[in-house]
Amino acid sequence: MSTYLADSAALLGRSLRHVARSPDTIITTAVMPIAFMLLFVYVFGGAIDSGTDSYVAYLLPGILIITIASGVSYTAFRLFNDVKSGIFERFQSMPIARSSVLWAHVLTSLVANLVAVAVVLLVAVTMGFRSPAGPLAWLMVGAILILFTLALTWIAVIPGLTATSVEGASAFSYPLILLPFVSSAFVPTETMPGPVRAFAEHQPVTSIVNTIRDLLNAEPVGSGLVVALAWCVGVLALAVLAAGATYRRRFR
């Protein structure tokens, strides 16, 4: 057990170095959501009736979701490179727990995405975002974002292990990035036509976004929190299982 932790720590240190040595991966992760935020607030914002007085506060949860959805594709990219370069095989042939190699990548993704989320939050604050939420609400927001990042990162592990090209390794994230657009992230779902509205109201991003929005507005969250957490944990569990199965199929 202690060697498991020591090995995972060594591997985590390695892949955090990768992130630190290519800070552009964090910048590019944060740039697109920030651009969306500027675009929606200063260009479309006047025409969108979100029913609130601060549109930045309204769309911030969706922007954070987009940040994470685009950030996890770097996990697929880094894992793909490890497999391709043979270093993955080297680790596989060494007396270390095989899952620690994957966990190191997943935890690296968590760190990198939280940094990107912090950058986006800072920009939101300079754009006028203020929140009456207390520490407990912020903690819950943090917990939801962490679970969401873990779930999406484990999904990213699958193309990372199986892709045959760099493009293939990161293409999976495009639908994830689009998901928030068909949700309550930017406009209230009531404005959408029937079938789209039905989809939007029942997909995970809506319940996650609504819960984060309520928490940041210091409003009661009710059962929404449970639904949001259930989505995150459910997707996380499925993704871990699917990634494990992919791993066993691909490597012995």
- 93 is an interface residue for other proteins by CB under 8 A: yes
- 245 is an interface residue for other proteins by CB under 8 A: no
SS3 of the chain: the string is: CHHHHHHHHHHHHHHHHHHHHCCHHHHHHHHHHHHHHHHHHHHHHHHCCCCCCCHHHHHHHHHHHHHHHHHCHHHHHHHHHHHHHCHHHHHHCCCCCHHHHHHHHHHHHHHHHHHHHHHHHHHHHHCCCCCCCCHHHHHHHHHHHHHHHHHHHHHHHHHHHHCCCHHHHHHCHHHHHHHHHHCCCCCCHHHCCHHHHHHHHHCHHHHHHHHHHHHHCCCCCCCHHHHHHHHHHHHHHHHHHHHHHHHHHHCC
Count of positions on this chain that bind other proteins (CB under 8 A): 24
Task: For the CB of residue 73, give the shortest distance to other proteins in the complex, in Å.
Answer: 18
* Cβ closest to other proteins, residue 92 vs residue 217: 92
* Cβ closest to other proteins, residue 93 vs residue 164: 93
List the interface residues with other proteins, window 17-46 (CB under 8 A): 17-18, 21-22
Task: For the CB of residue 60, give the shortest distance to other proteins in the complex, in Å.
Answer: 33
Task: For the CB of residue 9, give the shortest distance to other proteins in the complex, in Å.
Answer: 9
Which residue among 24, 193, 194, 252 contacts other proteins (CB under 8 A)?
Answer: 252
Question: What distance in Å separates the CA atoms of residue 214 and residue 195, rounded to the nearest whole number?
Answer: 25
List the interface residues with other proteins, window 94-133 (CB under 8 A): 94-96
- 14 is an interface residue for other proteins by CB under 8 A: yes
Task: For the CB of residue 8, give the shortest distance to other proteins in the complex, in Å.
Answer: 10
* Cβ closest to other proteins, residue 111 vs residue 227: 111
List the interface residues with other proteins, window 60-89 (CB under 8 A): 85-87, 89
- List of residues contacting other proteins (CB under 8 A): 3, 6-7, 10-11, 13-14, 17-18, 21-22, 85-87, 89-96, 251-252
